Structure 1
Amino acid sequence: MLNCQFEYHQADFTLQVELTSQAPVLGIVGVSGSGKSSFFKCLAGLLQPQQGKIQLNQQILLDSQQGINVPVHQRNIAFIFQQACLFPHLNVLQNIGYAQRWKQASAPKFASSYIVELLGLVPLLKRKAHQLSGGEAQRVAIARALLSSPDLLLLDEPTTGLDLQLRQQLLSFLNTIRQELAIPMLYITHHLEELEQLNAPQLCLAEGRLHYQD
């Protein structure tokens, strides 16, 4: 259960949503500048709202009245940006393994070998980031995110810059994740057909308010 009530610049709204294994993806749409990315950054802890409260499952991540603001690395939220943001001096295997450094104290949700196989990364493990296509780099970023054992996955227009073929390929992998792993996901996109392929209902962020889209 994600509970969020906060004010940040033009966005001022309350959201309460339960993402289940049957419907683990929720789409967030809206015009450029409506606050979608700022919303995600507030959830992840990269931005601090002016006021409000954010709760994921039973953990309070932010409560401005109580002075609670959980650090980014303790929120168990993984963020996939428009660009893959890989470490250029590391190969694919090293990039993926970096996520598990933060999870040494607890058992990971998924085995590294399983995620690598699931996302078709076996042939790419020794390549450096600059040797990857945009779609390959995003798959590596997603694998790294999954191996951090997140409770929530945020995807901010992950198909940006990809041609139609690579977009379809990445969506196919995301569908596999949706079906096999049931990780709760919030997904920002300007392409409504992507949400249809992911079987995701839509919320529209407009004028600082979230509206359900039929």
Structure 2
Amino acid sequence: MLRVEVSKQLGQFSVDVAFASEGRVTGLFGPSGSGKTSLVSMIAGLMTPDRGVISVDGEALDDTTRRFHVAVHRRRIGYVFQDARLFPHFDVRRNLDYGRRMNRLTRDDAQEKRLSEMLNIGHLLDRRPGQLSGGERQRVALGRALLAQPRLLLLDEPLGSLDEDRKAEILPYLTRLRDEAGVPMVYVSHDPDELRQLASHIVMLKRGRVAAFGGPEVLPA
């Protein structure tokens, strides 16, 4: 379960959010400027809340009453950005291996093969990011995050930079990850159709506050 009860002042804007979700995919929905990325940054540990608690499966990542904050690299949280952020000088094989090496994890050949097949990236291993399509780059970014063995995966508008054809290409892979990878996800989007296909729980944000929480039925038509 993901539990978030945080407050953060960011200049003239503030985030004050509380929710708990046991969903396999928790969607964060709202317009630009509603606080989605700020909230995800706090879950990832890139930003520290002024007050509050963040925990995953009962284990605290932040607890301001105890002045407790787990560093980013110790949270075991994968983060996939809108622009993939692959290393251009690495081929796909080395990009995929980066998270494992940074976390000093033992190589798991069976897991690498399973994810490669799940994401259909085995034929891309010798290519560099500049030789990949936008959808291919995002699939590699997903693989890299999952090979770091995260307890939670954050996806911050991963389809936001893709055209409609590329979105249609990658959505089935995201659905398969939801159903087969066994890693809970927080999926950030301002597209209600994406969230209807992927998310079981929705946190709707407006001006840094929770405007609604529930199933996909809380999304606008």
Q: Give the structure-2-normalised TM-score.
A: 0.89
How many percent identity over aligned positions? 39
Whole-Å separation in 2 of the counterparts to 1:140 and 1:27: 22
The residue type equivalent to 1:29 in the other structure is F
- Secondary structure of the residue aligned to 2:78 is strand
Tell me the amino acid that sits aligned with residue 16 of structure 1. A
2:16 paired residue among 12, 18, 25: 12
SS at match of 1:170: helix
Contact 2:100 2:147 in 1 (8 A): yes
Q: Cα–Cα, structure 1 residues 199 and 18, in superposed 2: closer, same or farther, change >3 Å?
A: closer
Contact 1:108 1:149 in 2 (8 A): no
Measured against aligned partners, the alpha-carbon deviations of 1:24-69 in whole angstroms (never above 9, x if no partner) come to 1121111111110010000000111112111111321111121111
1:43-192 correspondence to structure 2 within 5 Å: 43-105=43-105, 111-192=111-192
Aligned partner letter, 2:16: D
Q: Is the 8 A contact 2:33 2:207 kept in 1?
A: no
Change (3 A) 1:53 1:109: farther
Query: Structure 2: 5+ residue runs without aligned partners?
Result: none
- 1:104: Cα distance to partner? 3.4
| TM-score using structure 1 length | 0.92
Unaligned runs of 5+ in 1: none
State how far apart, in whole Å, the 2-side matches of 1:103 and 1:140 are. 18
Further displaced range: 156-165 or 106-115: 106-115
Q: Distance in 2 between matches of 1:110 and 1:4?
A: 34
For 1:113 and 1:105, the matched residues in 2 are separated by 16
Decide whether the 8 Å contact of 2:100 with 2:106 is kept in 1: no
Mark the CA change 1:39 to 1:86 in structure 2 (over 3 Å): closer, same or farther. Answer: same
CA distance in 2, matches of 1:168, 1:89: 28
- Cα distance, 1:114 vs structure 2: 1.1
Q: Is the Cα contact below 8 Å between 1:134 and 1:162 reproduced in 2?
A: yes
**Residue type at the aligned position of 1:112:** E
Give the distance between the partners of 1:102 and 1:109, measured in 2 at CA. Answer: 17
Aligned residue pairs total 210
Aligned equivalents of 2:148, 2:70: Cα separation in 1? 17
Q: CA deviation at 1:106?
A: 6.2
